[in-house]
Structure 1
Amino acid sequence: MGLLAERQAFLEKLSGADRAALLALGARHSYQAREHLVDEGDRSTFVLVILTGWCAVRRSTERGELILALRQGGELVGEMAALDRRPRSATVSALGAVDALVLSGERFRHFMAARPYVTGLVMAQLTERLRSADDERRALASATVLERLAACLVELAEHTGRPEGDSVAIRLALSQAELAAAVGATREAVAKALRLLRAQGLVRTGPKSVVVSDMAPLRLLGGGSGEPEGI
């Protein structure tokens, strides 16, 4: 899966001077849980830099909603519309409380033009997200719902997890419907897959909560090596 494609957030890659210059170009805005930062099909071109919190990138399909990616503090949102001036390709909504910097597309383009290094960062980020989308399409075509869910839970545990003894609690409060949207499946199929994982002792679940009890077999089921990322 590729919900969290970037290993290092955009803001973290900037020098201190460039970071300060970027933050001075926009205005800070707070969003409540489920509030939309941008809407699919809208023709606005402003760019957001998420400062705190988590957002979901969602797209409507004939079969329902898909969650294409999750974005966290330090990451860019909406830069594609600022660059190509075409309608928004997806909706971005807050999963919880979110603070973001909002700046006009024109200001963002001028910021990039004055800093070729920043332009390279944005292009590298777009390329990484494209590769992630390719991986996602391959998974949808070849992996079962159980395998896709296992890979998704491993990714969420590795990037957002909070240790609880020998287990890892996923900190993002995602419903079963949102997990289904993240793996391109129905809620019923994800509920069945979660029952199988619980029966095997790999996860424990509650209302909008998932605790991974045994990471290694879950990684293997999701197509990984059984070892933590980076080892």
Structure 2
Amino acid sequence: MSLFGQDRSFLHALPASDRRDLLAEGAPRSYEPGEIMIRERDTSAYVLALLSGWAVVSVGTERGARLILALRGAGEVVGDLAAVDQGPRSATVTALGRVEAVAISGDRFRRFLAARPHATSLIMRQLATRLRSADVERRSLASETVLRRLAARLVELAERAGRRAEAGTVLELPLPQHDLAAAIGATREAVAKALRLLREQGVVDTAHRTVVVVDMPLLVLLAQGRARPGADSSDKSPPAV
């Protein structure tokens, strides 16, 4: 399962001239932390090309909760599905911090793709990657424990948005516990319990909106289901839960 897109974003994969042409089709927009950029089920069709910052892609559940599907950063586009199929928005996109973007109308975005087969191929590949990730996520929700799902998320965040420090790997994205819970389909209480267990075992350290991965090898083994809580990294026996 993955919160992130492909290693190389859509904008960065475009030739420089195509990237300039696409951005010239839109208008700059700025979003403050927590501001909704795109709303689920809305009928708008503009595309946002992200220039800086991080955005959270989420959907509402039947129980009124929120499930985080993805994190999108600089170089990626959001809202492209509605622009391509002209259907309602499939998810809500919210600024995690301050976000700078360029808004491009759906009509202009479709014309851009029609004139550039390479760009169309990139969008199709992006949609396929997201679909595969959703399939993996459904299997994870059905079969893995909260601790294992949380460990996998923390490994991914450390690898993609972590900063090396003396104490370990500091996660740069300020995700509070309720967002971590929404990112693995669990309750905040269950995530707090799992984090407490990881802290007690010296795997992570936490502060306000900050997580430091102290023992990455053990966290990876927990994410893979190859270690038990409380075991050291040399113990690769199946987890007890």
Fold shared per TM-score above 0.5: yes
Determine helix, strand or coil for the equivalent of 1:21. helix
Give the Å deviation of 1:5.
3.0
8 Å contact kept, 1:5–1:132: no
Separation (CA, whole Å) in 1 of partners of 2:225 and 2:33: 32
> What is the percent sequence identity of the aligned residues?
57
Separation (CA, whole Å) in 2 of partners of 1:82 and 1:102: 12
- Is 1:46 the counterpart of 2:46 in the alignment? yes
Give the Å deviation of 1:62.
2.1
Give the aligned partner of residue 180 of structure 2. 179
Structure 1: stretches of 5+ with no match in the other structure: 227-231
User: Partner amino acid for 1:44?
Assistant: S
Give the aligned partner of residue 55 of structure 2. 55
TM-score by length of 2: 0.92
8 Å contact kept, 2:181–2:187: yes
Give the Å deviation of 1:224.
7.8
Point out which structure has higher relative CO (alpha carbons under 8 A, 6+ apart).
1
Separation (CA, whole Å) in 2 of partners of 1:6 and 1:145: 25
Separation (CA, whole Å) in 2 of partners of 1:224 and 1:191: 20
Give the aligned partner of residue 31 of structure 1. 31
Give the aligned partner of residue 238 of structure 2. none
Separation (CA, whole Å) in 2 of partners of 1:224 and 1:23: 44
Separation (CA, whole Å) in 1 of partners of 2:206 and 2:167: 16
User: Partner amino acid for 1:165?
Assistant: E
The runs of 4+ residues in structure 1 deviating greater than 4 Å are none
Give the Å deviation of 1:166.
5.1
Give the Å deviation of 1:8.
0.8
Q: Which has the larger radius of gyration?
A: 2
* Structure 1 segment 111-190 matched on structure 2, within 5 A: 111-165=112-166, 167-190=168-191
Separation (CA, whole Å) in 2 of partners of 1:68 and 1:153: 15
User: Partner amino acid for 1:206?
Assistant: A
Give the aligned partner of residue 202 of structure 1. 203
8 Å contact kept, 1:140–1:184: yes
RMSD of aligned residue pairs (Cα, Å): 1.2
